[in-house]
Every structure is written in structure tokens, then in C-alpha cells.
Amino acid sequence: MAAKISTAPGDIYPVHVMDDGPANHCYVNWMMHFNDIIEATKLNEALVKLLEKGDWKKLGGRLRRNKSGKLEIHALDSSDPEQKSVFFTHNTFDMTIDKHPVASRLPKETHSPSVQPLHDAEFRPLIARENLPTFHEMVEKDLPSVSLHVTSFNDGTFVGLAWPHVLMDAIGAKDLLAAWSLVLSGQEESVLPVLGAKEDFLRKTDALYDDNETPEEFGLEKHRLAGMGLVVFVVRFLWSKLWSSRRQRKVVFIPRDAFAKMKVKAQEDVTTTSQEVEDQAFISSSDILTAWFTRAVALSERKSRQFTVLNLLNARFRLPILVKSSGVFLGNMVLGTYSFLSSQLGSKGVGSIALEHRKHCTEQGTAKQTVCFLESILRDVDSGGTPRLIFGEPWARVVAFNNLLKADVIRTVDFSAAVIRPGDVSEKRKNSSGTMLSYFNGDIDQSFKDLDIFVVLGQDHEENYWVLGCVFPRVWQKIEQELRSIETNLNLQ
């Protein structure tokens, strides 16, 4: 039976241009690990309360198709207590995490750099409820969009949050976690308002520039694959999909000291090889991680080849009208920058690769170029097509990076108001009450199984790095070999 929908004016929310599309017809699943026993019902009550507040209720509505077949979100009737904005489930195990056959094998902090498996099918009971529908089943059966699945142990709690990608990207989810924490702690008045719930800010391209700025040409256009080049790229992709081994999802843990070593070597490489003046030769931690993993992929290749590195870019941090906003945007605002790297990648140092990558990102990541990218997507969509997002050489190896360092997800959550008792009472405990140890992206519907991708999940409370990757076995072998080299250098110090 369909949920009862509010009849108040404005109770239907549009699904914006960057939210819709087949690529977003899937779930995003985050599994958060806490070393406290947390009261699950309090978590659910706080989340429900948040999704009844202002335009936050967009997340608590129902995804439906209108007469034209387009997705839209119908807000629930708040006067009907039977209608739920969150699908909540809770499992309890009377044992410690290390005694559970599945939870005990989750990736964890290690003394040295490590690569650890993350099998979604195996860990699914901790990520989401058993009968989590597909995206299309959720729409057809008129089910809540947001799912909360809590698993309690005697010494910790796993909180699984799942939502359809059409609702929001990772930065939107980070804002949701922050607001959820505030409501839980009784600070509802501090929750920021949702902006752009009904009005698509990304369609107002004329207003996205600073005053007195003039438009410019889209720099990536000359690199867009079309015609025979696009045919070659697609055929090569399908051939690789058919004959290559299956990609594996694993988590890389890089301790703070190990990354510091990587950073020193990268900066030494920049100093040795760069002709740039000092302020132009800067490379960030994100650049170093991107370069290090890209180089590992290149070293795994049997012969030299060009690389196209797709780095996901969030318009929230690039466009002045969004940066200066006084609220949060919950939709999808992810675009990309493309670094075109030479076939000699494997012979270069991490620092020089990072610097080359940064140059591409700096050129393509300006406000003007971000608007140009948006306008290109809008033209494709408004003409009845799909966004043309393939750039570079047809024979290049494509590697994608989604860097969530800026989101700082691990240190965003504060569920201390729902903590029943601590799960870790040892002197070695490193995090405060109600904060998470780690989190992982689940890929229940395997939406990215055909793509080489690394997700920089962020830093934990001790500034260690967590990176999730989905690449071929030969790449993982090379990554493990390179990590052992870092460990050896650390031991020699």
C-alpha cells in the first residue's frame, strides 16, 4: 500500500539534473564502526526527527515517477504516525566483535601499512538489512529511501546507512551525519537549513560566477572522445570486461608515520625534478595519494601505456554561490577533473606525478571551468541525450579517484548522546565517546565493479589514512609490494 502523502502546497520535490540518470539508480552504503554500545532506537528517533524538519524531509519522502516517467520525491504526511521516513532494523549479538565470524574479519588498524579484503557479499549483514530492495524495487513498492541498520555487540556497534544515490553525494551525506548528531544531542536549533531542495542551483549557471567575471571556453572539450576514438575506447572497455580477471575490493591502511615517509619522498622528488617556483610546486596529501596509487597501477601493466586519471570534484567547493551559502546542499554536485599522464608513468617518481596531476586539476578546477563543465552536461541532457564524460586518449588506462579527505567523515559523527556504555575501556583507546573508529563504503549492487577506482575514505583520529580500492589482482600485488618497501624503509630508520 502506498504511503500517505501530504497535501500541503510544495510537498513534491524535484529530482535535479545532476541527481537523476542511470548511474545514480543505485544505493550508497556506509558501514560505520563504533567502539561503544549505542542505543539503536535513539539513533533512529533522532534521524526521523531530523527528516521531519524543514526541507530535510526531502530525504524522508518517497521516490515516485510522475506521468512523464520522471523521478520526483513526495513528502510524507507528518500527521500519519504509521508512515515511516526511515526503514529501521536492529540486530543484537551477545558476543564481542572478535568472536563473530564476519565482524571479526573487517579491516582494522595495523602497525604497518596493510591491504585487507572487503567482501561486500560476506559483510552485507553488517551493511544493510537482509531484504534491502534494489533501487527499482524501492520505487515500485513505495518504500522509504533511507535505511538505517544497526548491529550491536557487547563491545561495539555497527551503524549501516543506505540511501539511493539520487538523493545526495558523499558531501551531502556528511552534512546529514553532522545534522543527525546535533539533533541527537538536543541541539536541533543548530541544524543548518537545506538549500536548493526545490530549486536546482546548478541550472543557474549565469549566477555561478563572481561579479564582473566573463565566461570562457571549456578547456576539456578538445580532449573529449568522439567518433572513431570513442568507438575504440568502448570496444577496448568491453574486451577488457570480457577477458580480464575480476576486480577485487580491498582496503589499504596507511599509518601516519608511513604516509609521512611517502610525503617526504614525494617532496624530495618535486624539489629535484621540478622547474617550478616554490609556490607553484606545492603538492597536497591528496595529490600524493593519487600519484602513489596511480603509479602502482602503472607498474602492474605489462607494457607502458598512457593514463587518464579521473578525479571527482565537488562543485560545493568550487562555485562562489555555493561556497558562500548559509546552509547545506543535499543533492549530487560531483563533476570531475581529468589528468592526462604519459606512458612513462612507471619510471617517474611520486612527486613528479603528483605535480603533473595537480596542474591538470588546478587548470580544470576553477569556478569558470566548473561552470563550463556544468553547461556541457546541461546541453547534453536538455537535448535528450546523456552526459558525454569520456575524455583523453582512446587507448589510455582510466583510473578514478574519489577523495573524501575534505569531508572528514570519521570525525564528523558524534553519537555520544546515545552511548549506553563504552565498549573499549582500555588505556589504548584513541577516540572519544560516541565517535567512530572507521567506516567503509559498501557496494551491495556492485555498481562500480567495472571501473578501476580508489576511494580515499579519510583519516582516523590518529591521522592514519584509509583507502578503499577496486582493481585487478595484479594491481593489488604491486600495491602490497610497494607498501612493503615503505615498511622496510621505516624499519631501517
The 3-state secondary structure of 301-367, one letter per residue: CCCCCCEEEEEEEEHHHCCHHHHCCCCECCCCCEEEEEEEECCCHHHCCHHHHHHHHHHHHHHHCCH
Helix residue spans in 112-255 (DSSP H) = 120-127, 135-140, 170-184, 227-243
pLDDT score for 276: 54
Grid coordinates standing for 142? 513505495
Residue 421 amino acid letter: R
Per-residue CA distances from 114 to 266, 297, 463 (Å) = 20, 17, 16
pLDDT score for 374: 93
352, 358 Cβ separation under 8 angstroms: no
pLDDT digits (tens, 9 = 90+) for 68-111: 889 999 998 866 667 899 999 999 999 999 999 999 999 999 99
210, 320 Cβ separation under 8 angstroms: yes
Q: Average pLDDT of the chain?
A: 90
Mean per-residue pLDDT, 242-271: 91
pLDDT score for 384: 87
pLDDT score for 148: 97
pLDDT score for 210: 58
Question: Rounded to whole angstroms, how far apart are CA atoms 297 and 476?
Answer: 9
Q: pLDDT: is 4 or 414 the higher one?
A: 414
Strand partners, 118: none
- Residue 277: pLDDT band (50, 70, 90) is very low
Residue 415 has pLDDT above 70, yes or no: yes
25, 166 Cβ separation under 8 angstroms: yes
Range in 255-259, 338-342, 381-385, 440-444 the model is least confident about: 440-444
- Residue 7: pLDDT band (50, 70, 90) is very low
Q: pLDDT: is 7 or 202 the higher one?
A: 202
SS3 category, 87: strand
The CATH classification number of 12-190 equals 3.30.559.10
- Residue 487: pLDDT band (50, 70, 90) is confident
Instruction: Extract the runs of DSSP E, i.e. beta strands, from 205-291.
Output: 248-254
At which residue does the C-alpha cell 556544468 appear? 374
The CATH classification number of 201-406+447-492 equals 3.30.559.10
Mean per-residue pLDDT, 29-52: 96
Residue 272 has pLDDT above 90, yes or no: no
Model-wide pTM > 0.85: yes
Mean per-residue pLDDT, 350-375: 93
Mean per-residue pLDDT, 136-155: 95
Strands 156-164 and 27-34, sheet pairing: antiparallel
Do the domains 201-406+447-492 and 12-190 match in fold? Answer: yes
User: What are the domain boundaries of the chain?
Assistant: 12-190, 201-406+447-492
pLDDT digits (tens, 9 = 90+) for 109-136: 999 999 999 887 788 889 889 888 999 9
